[in-house]
Amino acid sequence: MAISAKKPVEGDETVHHVPPGKKEKKGKPKKYPQPPMTPMIDVTFQLLLFFILTCEFRETEGAIPGTLPAKGIITQAISDTPPPDPIQIRVIPSANRESASYEMTGVTVAIGSPHELGLLLQQRQEQIGSKEVPIVIFPNPDVPWGFVVEAFNQAKKAKFLKIGFAQQIM
Amino acid sequence: MAKHQVYSCSDVGFNMTPMIDCTFQLIIFFILASQVATDAYASNVKLVRPVDSQAIPIAVAPFPNKVVVNVLSAAAGEKDPDPEMAAGVKFYKINQVKFNVGEWDRMADVIKNMRTEYEKQYGTSKAPSAGASGKEGEDDRQFFLEVRADQRVKWEDVAPVIRAGVEAGISKLNITALTARVGESR
């Protein structure tokens, strides 16, 4: 039985078995065949460059779900109870259209922020105790769309189920 | 006296392994994080992020059961836009079809055609009231309108898009907005 005569490694006292006839030749180190790495690295860098140059970080988009009124259908109240009066929200832009204020049925003062509008809607929903009360948003024609979405979003946050837009300002 | 070791050129080389490791990590990151751009979602649309956004994250991919109407501001792509100009509409876009302001009938026709095609292929839409709550798993098949408008454009330029959807007989509407930031209450 042959005993390995490998390169001594400090601290390695393991006796390695080398089968007969496989004894390492002294002199030139043995060369192992390797796949060519260069083309792979080339392609990899091409890919990396492509992704770095073309990537554009986008913020996550989402959707606020809603409904549209049915065309040409006049809904009739089937139940004995009359339909609840809708809560109307008017969206009025400032002179430079940088901000907007909101007016809500039953609230005498103008509401300055969407957060405040959301709180008032939540309070109203708790007072009424129903999510079925329709919310009608009356945006001023020249109000930026962003403020209209804010009003819609706050109504959604207050868990109202019927949220719609008015076609004309009151 | 210190003994200097002399290396020949063949002995000197870069250790490529860590660099290749990092490169592969980066490639994997980019491949996983990338999203293929679609015609349905136009670029240069400045979306609103509402306070405590209720927007439900959606996959930005073309689904057959929706029509996305992009409303691009006249300032789209401008670096320092004039607020007056930004309030105007450049054009409306459904996939690759562009519409100018006032082409509402044409827009309603295109939406109607898309809805008809969808219903031919996948069956008729369900009840108009279904899916209103936006709950997951509820009536995923219903054809709907998605309004993806720039936050700066005026309401009077977006309202006709909604009207065109009503004209086309669509009963479900989604409004595109940015989702709430991580940690922000929903």
Q: How far apart are the first and last CA of chain A?
A: 103
Question: Residues A75-101: pLDDT tens digits?
Answer: 444 455 666 788 899 999 988 888 899
* Higher-pLDDT residue of A71, B173: B173
B109: three-class secondary structure by DSSP? helix
Phi, psi at B81, each rounded to 5°: -75, 150
B158:A145 CB<8 A = yes
Structural domain spans, chain A: 106-128+142-161
* Higher-pLDDT residue of A164, A19: A164
Instruction: Report the pLDDT value the prediction gives residue B73, as an integer from 0 to 100.
Output: 92
pLDDT band at B181 (very low <50, low <70, confident <90, very high): confident
- Six token digits for residue A46: 């091409």
A70:B128 CB<8 A = yes
SS3 string, chain A, reads: CCECCCCCCCCCCCCCECCCCCCCCCCCCCCCCCCCCHHHHHHHHHHHHHHHHHCCCCCCEEEEEEECCCCCCCCCCCCCCCCCCCEEEEEEECCCCCCEEEEECCCCCCECCHHHHHHHHHHHHHHHCCCCCCEEEEECCCCEHHHHHHHHHHHHHCCCCCEEECCCCC
Q: State yes or no: pLDDT of A24 exceeds 50.
A: yes
Is the pTM higher than 0.80?
Answer: no
- Six token digits for residue A169: 């300002």
CB atoms within 10 A of CB B49: 20
Structural domain spans, chain B: 66-175
Residue of chain A whose alpha carbon sits nearest to that of B24:
A44
User: Quick check: A90 contacting B, CB < 8 Å?
Assistant: no
A152:B175 CB<8 A = yes
| Mean of pLDDT values over A23-27 | 61
For residue B166, give the nearest of A61, A71, A143 by CB distance.
A71
Question: Residues A102-123: pLDDT tens digits?
Answer: 999 888 888 888 889 999 999 9
Q: What is the largest CA-CA distance in chain A?
A: 105
| Mean of pLDDT values over A37-65 | 85
- Six token digits for residue B83: 């607020």
Q: Is the ipTM of this complex over 0.85?
A: no
Helix (H) or strand (E) holding B67: strand B66-73
Please, what is the average pLDDT of chain A?
79
User: Quick check: A65 contacting B, CB < 8 Å?
Assistant: yes
Alpha helices in chain B (DSSP H): 17-33, 83-86, 104-122, 155-167
Angle at A167 between CA A165 and CA A169, to 5 degrees: 100
For residue B177, give the nearest of A45, A55, A153 by CB distance.
A153
Cβ burial of B135 (10 Å; 0-12, 13-18, 19+) is exposed
Instruction: Report the pLDDT value the prediction gives residue B110, as an integer from 0 to 100.
Output: 94
Instruction: Report the pLDDT value the prediction gives residue A95, as an integer from 0 to 100.
Output: 87
Which residues on A lie below 8 Å from B177 (Cβ)?
Answer: 61-64, 149, 153
Q: What's the gap in Å between the CA of A148 and the closest CA on chain B? A: 7
Which residues on A lie below 8 Å from B60 (Cβ)?
Answer: 58, 61
User: How far apart are the C-alpha atoms of A66 and A165, rounded to whole Å?
Assistant: 11
Which residues on A lie below 8 Å from B87 (Cβ)?
Answer: 97, 142, 144
Instruction: Report the pLDDT value the prediction gives residue A120, as an integer from 0 to 100.
Output: 92
Q: State yes or no: pLDDT of A17 exceeds 80.
A: no
